[in-house]
Amino acid sequence: MTMSLAASGLVKSFGARTVLEGIDLRVEPGEIFAIVGPSGAGKTTLLRCVDFLLRPEAGTILYDDAVAPSDLAARIALRRRVGMVAQNPFLFRGTAAYNVSFGLCIRDVEGEELTRRTADALQGVGMAHLAGARASVLSAGEAQRVAFARAAVVRPDLLLLDEFTVNLDPSNVNILEAAVREYNRSTGATVVLVTHNMFQAKRLAGRVALLLEGRIVEVGPVEEFFENPRDPRTRAFVRGEFAY
């Protein structure tokens, strides 16, 4: 299963500070789409709006070309089609396996299927040997791998990744990037990746957008975006001329 995502005229403020100033964006079903930009550009705020954690003041977000339903049960069903991995994920008290099984349990998956899917998800991020380890003793890299497995195990149609490998060592970055590719390949799910790491965007994404001061500056295929950007601000960003 997969999902298209579109935003138009999206505005979000915190007090006097407007973080998103009219975002227009379309992500096609099944693609890996990267949103790059310096820190403070509004990338995380955009993802939090998409994942229902924040309510925008203006504009619309379309999931499969439809706005989110107001009916509570239908809204929960839609929320369950969207997954997210945060920059510094929170792991619940308990084991790695408990954390990974959380989303399955609240979807009433139980018994042998629960055990198998939890084990497979941990295996997918190289964490099978630490299934019984308490979350509190995991390293940052291990915790992030558990968080990814926890988000992916419920097979969301749209997976949002918010700076999901920031501050991790190359080995953990490789494992997680491979897991994203495999998830996208095997499920056909749409992946929206937010990062200020241009190399990661190049490695993973098919298309890239630059978000700057709350606005989308340019969107294009990954080669075109990095090799031949149209907007002077994109050129400056690609050359590393933005301080962040």
Residue ranges binding other proteins (CB under 8 A): 51-53, 76, 79-80, 83-84, 86, 89-90, 92-93, 102-103, 106-107, 134, 150-151, 154
Complex with other proteins: residue 53 or 199, whichever CB lies closer: 53
Position of tokens 């979807």? 107
Position of tokens 């609240």? 106
The candidate with the shortest Cα–Cα distance to 63, out of 192, 176, 187, is 192
Complex with other proteins: residue 51 or 142, whichever CB lies closer: 51
> CB neighbours (10 Å) of residue 88?
12
Smallest distance from other proteins to CB 83, Å: 7
Complex with other proteins: residue 23 or 84, whichever CB lies closer: 84
The candidate with the shortest Cα–Cα distance to 221, out of 193, 199, 194, 202, is 202
Smallest distance from other proteins to CB 24, Å: 25
Rg over alpha carbons for the chain, rounded to the nearest Å, is 18
Smallest distance from other proteins to CB 222, Å: 27
DSSP 3-state of 27: strand
Contacts of 4 (CB under 8 A, 6+ apart): 26, 27, 28, 29, 62, 63, 64, 65, 190
Instruction: Identify whether the C-beta of residue 238 lies closer than 8 Å to the C-beta of residue 198.
Output: yes
Complex with other proteins: residue 125 or 216, whichever CB lies closer: 125
Work out the widest C-alpha separation in the chain, in whole angstroms: 56
Instruction: Identify whether the C-beta of residue 3 lies closer than 8 Å to the C-beta of residue 189.
Output: yes
Smallest distance from other proteins to CB 137, Å: 10
- What 8-state DSSP symbol labels residue 130? G
Smallest distance from other proteins to CB 220, Å: 29
Smallest distance from other proteins to CB 235, Å: 35
Complex with other proteins: residue 75 or 230, whichever CB lies closer: 75
Complex with other proteins: residue 24 or 71, whichever CB lies closer: 71
